[in-house]
């Protein structure tokens, strides 16, 4: 519940404050142009990195290995791309961290621990 409170109240409030600050500092038109540019660049990077992850998954499956690591990379790229499409500077920075390969590799072990904890606590159910 705390996470949802943070996600839906605190983050948008911070984003609005940053929009106002950016509008006063660099101007309203430039701020809007910057938001649109980050959305377009985010879509481009998400597509580029997503295709790379898809190729990696196919390669691992052809080799007979389960694509576990590539799936986590895919989740990072998917959420990173979504965050880059959402207007805001905090979401753009977070999305960029999830899309860029060096930072994505640093985030993956943390996500793997979180997923393992969810599975061990039976907070995620897989229906067959």
DSSP string, 44-70: HHHHHHHHHHHHHHHHHHHTT---HHH
Model pTM score = 0.79
Q: What pLDDT is stored for residue 14 in this prediction?
A: 93
Q: What pLDDT is stored for residue 18 in this prediction?
A: 93
Write the pLDDT tens digit of every residue in 17-41. 999 999 999 999 999 999 899 888 8
Question: How large is the average pLDDT for residues 2-14?
Answer: 84
**Residue 123 confidence class, pLDDT cut points 50, 70, 90:** low
Q: What pLDDT is stored for residue 49 in this prediction?
A: 87
Rg (C-alpha) for the chain, rounded Å, is 17
Q: What pLDDT is stored for residue 125 in this prediction?
A: 64
Phi, psi of 125 (to 5 degrees): -115, 135
| Cα-based torsion angle of the residue sequence 59, 63, 64, 68 in order, rounded to the nearest 10 degrees | -40
CB 76 within 8 A of CB 114: no
Write the pLDDT tens digit of every residue in 77-93. 989 988 988 888 999 99
Q: At what angle do helices 28-62 and 68-85 cross, to 10 degrees?
A: 160
């Amino acid at each position: 519940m705390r996470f949802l409170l943070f996600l839906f109240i605190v983050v948008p409030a911070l984003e609005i404050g940053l929009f106002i600050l950016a509008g006063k500092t660099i101007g309203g038109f430039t701020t809007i142009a910057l938001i649109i540019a980050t959305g377009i660049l985010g879509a481009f990077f998400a597509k580029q990195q997503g295709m790379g992850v898809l190729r990696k998954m196919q390669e691992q499956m052809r080799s007979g290995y389960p694509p576990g690591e590539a799936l986590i990379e895919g989740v990072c790229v998917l959420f990173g791309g979504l965050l880059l499409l959402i207007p805001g500077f905090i979401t753009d920075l977070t999305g960029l961290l999830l899309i860029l390969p060096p930072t994505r590799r640093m985030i993956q072990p943390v996500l793997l621990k979180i997923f393992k904890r969810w599975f061990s606590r039976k907070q995620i159910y897989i229906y067959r």
